[in-house]
Chains A and B, each alone.
Chain A
Amino acid sequence: MIEKLKKILALIKKEFIITWMDPKSRRIIIALPIVQLILFSYAITMEVKNIDVVVVDQDNSTESRELISRFDLSPQFRNIYRVKNMKQMQNKLDNKDANMGLYINNDFSTNIISHTPTDVLIITDGRQTNSAAIVAGYVSQIVSDYSQEIAPTNGVKINVVTRNWYNPNLEYRWFILTVIIAMLASVITLILTALSIAREREMGTFDQLIVSPLSSVDILAGKTVPPLIIAMALTCIMTFVIKIFFRMPFEGSIVLFLISMFVSLLSLVGVGLYISSICRTQQQAILGVITFMMPAVLLSGFISPIEDMPVFLQYLTLLNPIRFFMALTRGIFLKGMNFADVSMNLVPLIITATITLSLACWSFKKRQN
């Protein structure tokens, strides 16, 4: 047994020397994800900011100018372009020089003074429907606030008081960081595992391994551990970077985090090994990785929530390790998930890991014959 472990250890050591001792390789594995982590977390937000508005003010009254100034004062809005007519407005919007249009009729001030309900026309750009909806939300809020102020009497009203748990200021960055950590770790794990066997096949070294007294399980074990360790180290470094750079809270337990990470990455290693067991060349392996990864990332729930998908897809995502990996990082970082909460997410991961690893083992053995 010890003898066997020593052999596997030798395999692991070899893998480390190849992927880790080479400075070029090290830079790719560590530096690339860290740069991406910082870049993405600064860049990505679902909020819409710096909105440019094109305005046609037919009324040109104190009241209309007051309404327009509300946009100027709102932090989400940037430039206000005043144009003469609808045609010019259309032109601005067509060319995407402005993100939305505001059209005020010439009876605006008259109506307000006489307390007659009046309309203002808001035009959003449906070429990006998600941004359009968010912009429409902002505008409604501004207009309705204005409307409230000029209302003659104080009526009843519902105030919605919101408390955002786990992330009181709704920092988008906190959300996206937990997503990116999981995503980057998954990408590296998949690439490392899927490519390493394909590369040995192409180089001919794989035959040399098979001729040795190592069993296929030994070889697979030797291929499983190094990417696992590298990806875990990478995740820890990224976590550290996050703490330093973004002062993000880490509510949960480190031990649970390590366990979750281990199980998640293990199931991804299984996927990577399975891909590499069916590929002859590195070209095929890399195409295999992307064919798995693209759906897995898109269906992980970070762009669009899982609950919103058709039932069939929801079931399919149960097999998606990236989904649970993200849920776990988010839960542990922000929500301080306890053991019971974590284990609910671990169960599907353990099942996937078992399936993918045995599948890899089986297909690997089959290939040998």
Chain B
Amino acid sequence: MDTVTIEHLTKNFRGMTAIDDLSLKIEKGKITGLIGSDGSGKTTLIRLIIGLLLPDHGKISVLGLNPETQKDELNKKIGYMPQKFGLYEDLTVIENLRLYADLKNVAHDFEKLLEFTNLKKFQTRLAGALSGGMKQKLGLACVLLGSPEFLLLDEPSVGVDPISRRDLMRMVRDLISPETTVLWSTAYLDEAHSFDTAVVLNQGKVIYQGKPYDLAKTTEEFENKVIDLMGGYRKTKSRIAENYIPKNSDVEYTVVADNLEKLYGSFYAVKNNSFKIKKGEIFGLLGPNGAGKSTSFKMMCGLLKPTSGTARIMGVDITEDPENARANLGYMAQKFSLYEALTVKQNLDFFAEIYGIHDENLKKRVDEIIDIFGFFQTRKQKSGELPLGFKQKLSLACALIHNPPILFLDEPTSGVDVITRREFWDHIKSLAQKGVTVLVTTHFMDEAEYCDRISLFYKGDAVAIGTPSALKNKVRAKSMEEAFMKLILESEK
């Protein structure tokens, strides 16, 4: 018995094919992982399945219903968590739960969910004030209300730390009945590897469907196989780094955090944070959501005034001379924050200009970036319409455009497909070799291994600083993920 049957489905947007003659069956009672490169049509496919979009051609049947004509009935049986999940940020946790419970006509019995999500303490907090991981957990909790027959999750684990990611997975596995079908789109291949079925999309077509375990026994292998399926990845020299013109400076420690502290009321968001990053070093900030990484980040680039302490960029104090300090900085925010109404090229032009690249240099540089990042096809598209992964790519490009000696990257690879992630890190590593200092946060533990040094953040405190291997040795962990868990557990004591 199949929950979803799709035959010859096609969907175009303004002449661009998003879904291309796609046929697919999704088995009932199984967890199916939906993976694929950015812009391969994952979100569009999910939206078509639940009738939020109408197909141009082809047939879809979901739980025996036609989403085109029977959307209302279908809605009663499904739980859908969109990428930008619709939590009301100006409502509290419990108010959001109550709202979605009422919309699904189920009783206000949230004990188990609150327990599972660890949100019990935060019931009266505004959803907008939750950390990324907690928001996703709350979103999932809202979707799970009323035990839907078919659960569709569009990248629920984007920007979620490893611990919360396990929680999300546990919530789904433990809280649904065995008959429930789950369609889970994800960029984390370790997640996908643990599912019953994996569907790999590429350019609107299914290029693989089967048991992930059949494809590869281990996660690493699985990742390589998927990359091969998607056309393979050849490591090339980073042309960004090649064209990088190093800035002469005799500052040894290019980024310095000096006793940074942020106090909200009586609550320390960041407490006594100090570190020094050498020129050319990749420094990783790791830690669960809400540990104070983003707050530190914002203080370091002058978006937030520290309660005490300061930061120095290339020796310039950020609180005293923010304009000069920032001139050396390339910054990529966690949330996509480029102009959605501007096209890809217009965004690049704009950011180049405000960082002081003009006239012929501008044209040269922007063309170069478009070429390196492969924006040629999309250069005239509005950036708001791009898939998440493309947006991240564009954000990185804008942060790099002025050859900054220092890069601040806040979760640059969140929502980015596996191939692009490798490209990102190629650029980052090669730039560091050229002397660019990089401060980066990530939730991918394999990426943490690329960092020269790591500061592990928990509850506003740096609980450990050191090279990845030093941290692993410290708690005798095999993988970075294990070290992460153990170190956090240790600091709890």
Which residues of A pack against B, CB within 8 Å? 3, 6-7, 9-11, 13-14, 17-18, 22, 203-205, 207-215, 368-369
Contact = CB atoms under 8 A, between A and B. Distances in A.
B302 interface: yes
Bin the interface of chain B by size.
20 to 34
Interface stretch (B161-169, B321-329, B413-421, B477-485): B321-329
13 contacts: A6-B353, A6-B356, A7-B354, A7-B356, A13-B350, A14-B346, A17-B346, A18-B341, A207-B303, A212-B326, A213-B323, A213-B327, A214-B354
Contacts of B338: 205, 208
Given A22-B341, A211-B329, A6 B358 contact: yes
Contacts of B351: 212
B326 A18 contact: no
Interface in B210-234: none
Contacts of B464: none
Nearest to B358: A6
A212 B332 CA distance: 11
A222 to B, nearest CB: 9
Contacts of A3: 356
Given A207-B303, A213-B326, A213-B355, A14 B337 contact: no
The 5 A-B pairs of least Cβ separation, nearest first, read A10-B353, A204-B337, A213-B327, A211-B331, A369-B305
A207 B333 contact: yes
A267 to B, nearest CB: 27
A196 B139 CA distance: 31
Contacts, number: 69
B451 interface: no
Contacts of B353: 6-7, 9-10, 13
B386 interface: no
Given A212-B326, A214-B323, 18 more contacts: A6-B353, A10-B353, A10-B354, A14-B350, A17-B341, A22-B341, A203-B340, A205-B337, A208-B337, A211-B301, A211-B302, A211-B329, A212-B354, A213-B323, A213-B324, A213-B327, A213-B354, A369-B305
Nearest to A281: B90
Contacts of A13: 350, 353
A215 to B, nearest CB: 5
A207 B339 CA distance: 12
A340 to B, nearest CB: 43
Interface in B330-368: 331, 333, 335-342, 346, 349-351, 353-356, 358
Contacts of A212: 326, 351, 354-355
B339 A204 contact: no
B303 A205 contact: no
A214 B325 CA distance: 11
Contacts of B350: 10, 13-14
Contact of B342 (A14, A214, A215): A14
Contacts of A17: 341-342, 346
A208 B301 CA distance: 10
Main secondary structure of the interface of B (DSSP, over half): loop
A18 B354 contact: no
A214 B351 CA distance: 11
A215 B302 CA distance: 12
B312 to A, nearest CB: 16
A203 B354 contact: no
A22 B351 CA distance: 20
Contacts of B341: 17-18, 22
Contacts of B333: 204, 207-208, 211
Given A3-B356, A18-B339, A210-B302, A215 B323 contact: yes
Nearest to B346: A17
A98 B321 CA distance: 74
B337 A203 contact: yes
A208 B342 contact: no
A30 to B, nearest CB: 18
A215 B353 CA distance: 14
A213 B349 CA distance: 16
A10 B323 CA distance: 17
Nearest to A204: B337
Interface string B186-207: 0000000000000000000000
B323 A204 contact: no
Nearest to B301: A211
A204 B354 contact: no
Nearest to A222: B354
Contacts of B358: 6
Contacts of B335: 204
A22 B346 CA distance: 13
Contacts of A215: 323
Most buried by B among A18, A203, A208, A369: A208
A18 B350 CA distance: 12
B369 to A, nearest CB: 16
Contacts of B323: 213-215
A195 to B, nearest CB: 13
B303 A18 contact: no
B334 to A, nearest CB: 9
B326 A211 contact: yes
A189 to B, nearest CB: 20
B342 A18 contact: yes
A84 B339 CA distance: 73
B330 to A, nearest CB: 9
Contacts of A368: 305
Contacts of B356: 3, 6-7, 213
Nearest to B327: A213
Most buried by B among A18, A212, A215, A368: A212
Nearest to B382: A22
Contacts of A7: 353-354, 356
B242 to A, nearest CB: 25
A24 to B, nearest CB: 11
A215 B326 CA distance: 10
Nearest to B326: A213
